[in-house]
């Protein structure tokens, strides 16, 4: 090549790269814990955002389980390497909320960049969990779920029960289960995943009974647990008695890992699990699946109230430039559009966070084609949330949940009565709450 051409080429390349860099999109990073299928859907969604405009570019990165993602981000923060957006599970809310120097509350972020953020558009039960006492949104609800009841319609028929009529009260659950077991259709009536989430947290909200003082911790870190009440003790004792009868089978502590397989193998006819397990359930069950709401004790005033959510939200972390926060705000706005929400909800089984998304799905006929896909929504919006059913906000809740399911297990093995276990759980939990309070003074 002649020297002149080479020279021209060099100039050309330099100019081209100059103009490219002048138009370079603002890069932001998003750390999340969605593996597998969910991760793929998440990445597609992000790609669509990136492709839809030139100014911003979001890079999602899978960082392990929720715990690992959170720990990794905290470590990164201490090393000044934190991402812009972080997905944190609901039990981490207490920790995140109190880290005032680390987080950038979403409502402030959106306001500062002039993006629409109409609180009214959001479903109260979803958003309530993540608002401060003034009703301002601290984090962006992304993948929320709530526990529902899955049941084996084929087995119901076999046992002589109407598959269109899931049980509504705990009495009915027990009766139906007895019938199923006696008829020989299955060896167990019902089982549950996430025992603390389902059989204590949601249980309390569903019956409009508090878990702790100060609006379940929303009011401050001085909160104390109060769930060692009669209702909870009675329910845990019932679970134990039902297990003795063969009506209920304990699925293990923590996430209740044994429960789902028992449902798929048709060992148990009824299964309490996250609404986001829908896709898994559909894939793994070789029988007709029915969906129902959580049962309640009909002798309790105020039941059924509304259920609370689990899942995770997106937090914005401090320490980045204004430009980058501009990008974050744009991304959040994109995520809250009805079309995007509706698609995410339909593909994953997580709840849509806006009324508009719900309406859109209705319009699209999604719920007609997929009966039961809106049970979770109906359950969550059954009533306006009270201070007992907005959600919960306790520090160190990762460990506290483990403690709760440990104590529940002691009831199942017959080592403690429901009241004793609840008392112990409250005591141990309060210790951790005080720890958290002290560390965050």
- Please work out, in degrees rounded to the nearest 5, the angle formed at the alpha carbon of residue 297 by the alpha carbons of 197 and 261: 45
User: Which residues, including other chains, have CB under 8 Å from residue 232's CB and lie 6 or more apart?
Assistant: 200, 203, 204, 209, 418, 422
DSSP code for 287: S
Return d(Cα 28, Cα 331) in angstroms, integer.
10
Q: Which is nearer to other proteins, 3 or 100 (CB)?
A: 100
At residue 364, φ and ψ (nearest 5 deg) are: -75, -5
Q: Which is nearer to other proteins, 57 or 63 (CB)?
A: 63
For residue 80, whether the previous peptide bond is cis, meaning omega lies within 30 degrees of 0, is no
Q: Which is nearer to other proteins, 31 or 358 (CB)?
A: 31
Return d(Cα 240, Cα 201) in angstroms, integer.
18
Name the one residue in this structure whose structure tokens are 């951790």: 432
Q: State the nearest-atom distance from the C-beta of 331 to other proteins, in Å.
A: 22
Q: Which is nearer to other proteins, 53 or 61 (CB)?
A: 61
Q: Which is nearer to other proteins, 357 or 410 (CB)?
A: 410
DSSP code for 276: G
Q: State the nearest-atom distance from the C-beta of 311 to other proteins, in Å.
A: 16
Q: In angstroms, how far is the first alpha carbon of the chain from the final one?
A: 70
**Under the rule (CB under 8 A), what is the footprint of other proteins?**
35-37, 61-65, 67-69, 71-72, 74-79, 81, 95, 98-102, 250, 252-255, 257-258, 260-261, 396, 398-399, 406, 409-410, 413, 435, 438-441
Q: State the nearest-atom distance from the C-beta of 441 to other proteins, in Å.
A: 7
Residues in the chain: 441
Q: State the nearest-atom distance from the C-beta of 277 to other proteins, in Å.
A: 10
Q: Which is nearer to other proteins, 296 or 436 (CB)?
A: 436
Return d(Cα 30, Cα 314) in angstroms, integer.
9
Q: State the nearest-atom distance from the C-beta of 81 to other proteins, in Å.
A: 7
């Amino acid at each position: 090549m002649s020297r002149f051409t080479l020279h021209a080429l060099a100039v050309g390349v330099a100019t081209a790269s100059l103009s490219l860099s002048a138009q370079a999109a603002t890069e932001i990073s998003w750390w999340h814990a969605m593996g597998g299928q969910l991760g793929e859907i998440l990445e597609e969604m992000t790609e669509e955002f990136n492709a839809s405009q030139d100014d911003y570019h979001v890079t999602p990165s899978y960082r392990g389980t929720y715990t690992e993602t959170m720990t990794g981000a905290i470590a990164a923060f201490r090393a000044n390497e934190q991402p812009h957006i972080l997905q944190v599970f609901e039990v981490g809310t207490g920790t995140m909320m109190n880290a005032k120097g680390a987080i950038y509350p979403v409502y402030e972020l959106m306001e500062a960049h002039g993006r629409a953020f109409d609180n009214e558009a959001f479903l109260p039960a979803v958003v309530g969990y993540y608002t401060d006492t003034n009703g301002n949104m601290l984090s962006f609800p992304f993948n929320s779920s709530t526990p529902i009841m899955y049941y084996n319609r084929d087995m119901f028929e076999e046992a002589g029960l109407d598959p269109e009529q899931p049980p509504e009260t705990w009495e009915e659950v027990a009766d139906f289960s007895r019938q199923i077991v006696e008829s020989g259709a299955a060896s167990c009536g019902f089982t549950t995943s996430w025992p603390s989430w389902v059989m204590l947290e949601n249980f309390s909200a569903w019956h409009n009974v508090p878990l702790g003082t100060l609006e379940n911790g929303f009011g401050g870190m001085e909160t104390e647990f109060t769930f060692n009440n009669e209702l909870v003790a009675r329910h845990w004792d019932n679970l134990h008695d039902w297990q003795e009868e063969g009506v209920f089978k304990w699925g293990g502590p923590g996430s209740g890992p044994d429960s789902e397989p028992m449902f798929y193998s048709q060992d148990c006819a009824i299964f309490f699990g996250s609404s986001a397990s829908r896709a898994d359930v559909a894939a793994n069950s070789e029988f007709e699946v029915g969906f129902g709401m959580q049962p309640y004790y009909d002798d309790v005033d105020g039941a059924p109230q509304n259920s609370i959510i689990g899942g995770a939200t997106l937090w914005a972390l401090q320490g980045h430039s204004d430009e980058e926060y501009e990008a974050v705000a744009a991304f959040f706005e994109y995520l809250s559009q009805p079309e995007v929400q509706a698609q995410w909800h339909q593909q994953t089984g997580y709840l849509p966070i806006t009324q508009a998304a719900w309406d859109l799905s209705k319009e699209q006929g999604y719920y007609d084609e997929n009966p039961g896909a809106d049970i979770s929504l109906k359950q969550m919006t059954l009533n306006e949330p009270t201070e007992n059913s907005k959600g919960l906000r306790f520090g160190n809740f990762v460990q506290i949940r483990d403690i709760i399911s440990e104590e529940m297990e002691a009831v199942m093995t017959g080592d403690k009565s429901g009241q004793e276990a609840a008392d112990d759980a409250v005591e141990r939990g309060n210790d951790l709450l005080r720890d958290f309070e002290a560390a965050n003074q």
